[in-house]
Amino acid sequence: MSSIIFLFNSERNSRSRTQLWERFIAESGARYLSDAGEIKSAKLASCIFTHSREYQEKISSIVGDIGDVPVVVFTGGMHGRTIRVDEKRKSTFWMSIEMLMPKVDELVVGLLAKINNGATANEVWEYIREHNRSAFPEALIAAYLLMIANEKVGVPLNFPQWEEACEQYKAISEEKDADWSNASGWGADEIRKVKKKIGELFSQVASQV
Amino acid sequence: MMLAPWNIPCDANTLRGQLKHSWLENEVLYISIETVITLWRRDEADLASKYAVRVQDLTRLADSLDEGFSPAQLVDVLNPFDGFSTENKAAIKAAVHAAYLESSGILALQAPLKAAAVCMEAALQELSRAWALAQPQGESAVRAAWEGVREKASALIMELERLPKGVMLP
């Protein structure tokens, strides 16, 4: 029995999701158990593809009783970078499939490191929460909102994280179009358009640093 | 509408997604008429009454559309604002909410969404009436009513797809 189970809920057979999962397995070296219980490759963690919402029964039918082993369920229908603890089983964590998109390597490597260190379910959850928090540039967005408030009602630009906001702005400006394309599935024209918009919006922040 | 590479989570977006995906797609569009007729023949609970909570959720989403996707909610959750005074936080919230209302066009999405919700509610009421009928006229009435529900569900999905996928920035 592995010390964590990744479960991919493939309610509908989406090609882009399948590609993500294949990439996840390739990069994590995870063991892949198909719905039929067939082991495709083995290294550390278990990945189970299931079409069933009854994931506990599905897991049990393949690998037996899992006790308190943490289960991370990647699923659609979570609408953005949402995460939550299962209401019935507190060591099961539901994560939006989108969380895998932008930085699949980072998340996978981080989670596997946790496993190797014998992380508890709570520690896995804390890691996931931190990962989710870093999914969007907090300092940059906060700085941007503060600037709007400064312009409109004169709230002082007394902000301790200008430097961090500027770093985040730079990182976004320098991200490669191809990475964005992989992450979002958008075409090159859309990406250029969005980058231009972000540049217009956040160049104000950079100029404050 | 502001495009951003991040979908900044908010309850309104979760609700939008649940209504579109979990209800309208999974429980309406992907349910065949044969399944519906089977449920009706078995004298199972009226599907329209089962969806009553969803209709309430839809109304709640439509009524609070502007607040639901407002960047004002970020002021309470973003770490960099932790040390700000309550007064300053309130001022930032008011300013960014006003800026977002000006720039987002969110309020223009409210009336069409509400109209689509009213049509869906009417279609569900029609289904309820048909569900209560006995054979032989009941089956054709349920078929026709379900077709109406599906049609209104498609229209509603189109409106939900026009909504943002997370907190909007001004």
pLDDT band at residue A47 using 50, 70 and 90 as cut-offs: low
Assess whether A117 and A155 both reside in one domain: no
CB contact under 8 A, B6 and A161: no
Strands (E), B36-99: none
| Model confidence band, residue A13 (pLDDT cutoffs 50, 70, 90) | very low
| ipTM, 2 dp | 0.84
Q: Assess whether A43 and A101 both reside in one domain.
A: yes
CATH code of residue A45: 3.40.50
pLDDT band of A54, cuts 50, 70, 90: low
Instruction: Give how far B141 is from chain A: nearest CA, Å.
Output: 31
- Residues A24 and A64 occupy one common structural domain: yes
pLDDT of residue A11: 47
The structure tokens 């006003």 sit at B98
Q: How far A200 CA sits from the closest chain B CA (Å)?
A: 12
> What residue in A sits closest to B17 (Cα-Cα)?
A79
> Are the Cβ atoms of B9 and A77 closer than 8 angstroms?
no
Nearest to A45 by CA among A33, A56, A60, A61: A33
| The pLDDT value given to residue B72 | 96
Mean pLDDT of successive 10-residue stretches along chain B, which has 170 residues:
61 84 85 91 88 93 95 91 93 95 91 97 96 89 96 96 86
Domain hosting residue A193, numbered range: 138-208
How would you class A208 by CB atoms within 10 Å of its CB: exposed for 0-12, middle for 13-18, buried for 19 or more? Answer: middle
A143 and A128 part of one domain:
no
Please give, rounded to a whole number of angstroms, the shortest distance from the CA of B128 to a CA of chain A. Answer: 28
Domain tally, chain A: 2
Q: Is residue B86 part of a domain?
A: no
* pLDDT tens digits, A84-123: 777 777 777 777 666 655 555 566 667 666 766 767 767 7
